């Protein structure tokens, strides 16, 4: 009869704590947050990452176990889960820059014009939100920009412990600057479309005065979409290069802070 005996409970606990932090991060990453990806795939991916990086972080986790005592199993689990949620939230918040930019571009071009006439139409996701989000995501994956993220997560085990978690509460200036930069970056990326829309509206206002019988609203929708797509295509190289640079810079600032 086969019997299994655990000889080192501290090591098993340390592995579980590392798994709980990684799991909270993985479930929030843009690549894994889709509901179409089975939960078992997310858990197995987390398990593989934990196995791969556990030898690098086990000593730091054991320090927390020795500090609060092995009987505080659930306290340490909650602590590591919350830390993982915070780290994953900031990574996800950086991706919201591009989703918000896509929403602004969709609105400026006029692809969501239906909501102007039918308030019950809801808030469908425009084409540019998904286009920009997945393009940036593929650029990040293929360029190896995920490696700094893994390094930052590993460093978080040595910099964020139970006994020094209070230092995050004294870093409000960093969080204020981070969220402000996220907002400003989104507006900056959508500025060309906003500027084009302002020009078109000004020209259409002049045309409506000069030619009152013209249906300015119908003409402005066509001009907005055509000119907006043209401007986006012409400036797409610089746009996506800037998006990638913003993502890597902000991600580097965040993981440098928690390291």
> Is the Cα dihedral 90, 100, 248, 39 positive or negative?
positive
Q: Report how far apart, in Å, the C-alpha atoms of 161 and of each of 65, 132, 154, 155, 178 are.
A: 10, 36, 13, 11, 22
In this structure, is residue 4 part of a structural domain? no
Q: Report how far apart, in Å, the C-alpha atoms of 137 and of each of 38, 129, 249 are.
A: 20, 12, 15
In this structure, is residue 35 part of a structural domain? yes
Distance CA(95)–CA(55), nearest Å, equals 30
In this structure, is residue 189 part of a structural domain? yes
Q: Which domain, by its residues, includes 85?
A: 9-258
pLDDT tens track, the chain, 259 positions: 445 555 567 888 889 999 999 998 888 877 776 557 788 888 888 899 898 888 888 888 888 888 887 778 888 899 899 888 888 888 787 777 777 777 777 777 766 554 544 455 445 555 667 777 777 777 777 776 677 777 778 888 888 877 776 666 556 677 777 778 878 888 888 888 888 878 877 887 787 777 777 777 767 777 777 777 787 778 778 888 887 788 777 777 777 766 6
* pTM for the structure as a whole: 0.72
Q: What is the pLDDT of residue 168?
A: 62
In this structure, is residue 132 part of a structural domain? yes
Q: Whose CA is closest to 29, among 79, 95, 74?
A: 95
Q: What is the pLDDT of residue 2?
A: 47
Q: What residue has token string 């930052």?
A: 152
In this structure, is residue 1 part of a structural domain? no
Q: Whose CA is closest to 91, among 30, 137, 174?
A: 30
Distance CA(126)–CA(104), nearest Å, equals 10
In this structure, is residue 58 part of a structural domain? yes
Q: What is the pLDDT of residue 192?
A: 81
In this structure, is residue 2 part of a structural domain? no
CB-based contacts of 3, cutoff 8 Å, min separation 6: none
Number of domains in the chain: 1
Q: Whose CA is closest to 11, among 67, 78, 70, 52?
A: 70
In this structure, is residue 22 part of a structural domain? yes
| Contact predicate 33/92, CB 8 Å | yes
| Contact predicate 219/118, CB 8 Å | no
């Amino acid at each position: 009869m086969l019997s299994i005996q655990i000889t080192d409970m501290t090591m098993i606990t340390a592995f579980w704590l590392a798994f709980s932090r990684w799991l909270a991060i993985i479930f929030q990453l843009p690549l894994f947050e889709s509901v179409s990806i089975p939960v078992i795939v997310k858990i197995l991916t987390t398990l593989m990452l934990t196995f791969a990086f556990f030898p690098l972080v086990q000593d730091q986790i054991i320090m927390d176990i020795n500090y609060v005592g092995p009987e505080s199993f659930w306290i340490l689990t909650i602590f590591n889960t919350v830390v993982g949620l915070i780290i994953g939230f900031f990574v996800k918040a950086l991706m919201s820059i591009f989703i918000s930019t896509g929403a602004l571009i969709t609105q400026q071009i006029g692809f969501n014009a239906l909501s102007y006439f039918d308030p019950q139409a809801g808030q469908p996701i425009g084409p540019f939100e998904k286009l920009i989000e997945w393009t940036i995501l593929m650029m990040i994956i293929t360029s190896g920009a995920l490696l700094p993220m893994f390094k930052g997560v590993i460093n978080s085990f040595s910099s964020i412990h139970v006994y020094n978690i209070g230092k995050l509460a004294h870093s409000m200036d960093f969080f204020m600057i981070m969220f402000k930069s996220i907002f400003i970056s989104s507006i900056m990326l959508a500025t060309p479309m906003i500027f084009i829309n302002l020009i078109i509206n000004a020209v259409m206002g002049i045309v409506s005065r000069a030619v009152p019988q013209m249906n300015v609203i119908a003409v402005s929708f066509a001009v907005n979409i055509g000119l907006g797509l043209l401007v986006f295509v012409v400036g797409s190289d610089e746009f996506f290069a800037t998006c990638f640079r913003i993502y890597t810079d902000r991600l580097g600032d965040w993981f440098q802070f928690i390291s």
